[in-house]
Chain A
Amino acid sequence: MPYENYARWKTEAITEEPKLSIVIPAYNERERIVATIGAIASHVSDLGFPWELLIADDGSKDDTVALCDDLHLVNMRVLRAPKNGGKGSAVQRGMLAARGTYVLFADADNSTPIEEVSKLLNKLEKESFDVAVGSRAAEGAEEGKKSMLRKILSGGLRWIVRHIFFIPVKDTQCGFKMYTREAAQKLHTKQTIMGFSFDLEILYLASKFGYKIAEVPVSWIDAPGSKVDTRKEVQRFLRDLMTVKMNDLKGVYR
Chain B
Amino acid sequence: MNVQRGVELVVGLFVLAGIAALMVMALQWSNFGASRISGYEVLARFDNVGGLSEQSPVKLAGLTIGRVDSIEIHPETFQAEVRMVIDGKYDNLPSDSFANIYTAGLLGAKYIEISPGGALESLQDGDRITMTQSAIILESVVSKFLFDKAKE
Q: Is this pair of chains taken from one and the same complex? A: no
Q: Which residues of A contact B (CB under 8 A)?
A: none
Q: Which residues of B contact A (CB under 8 A)?
A: none
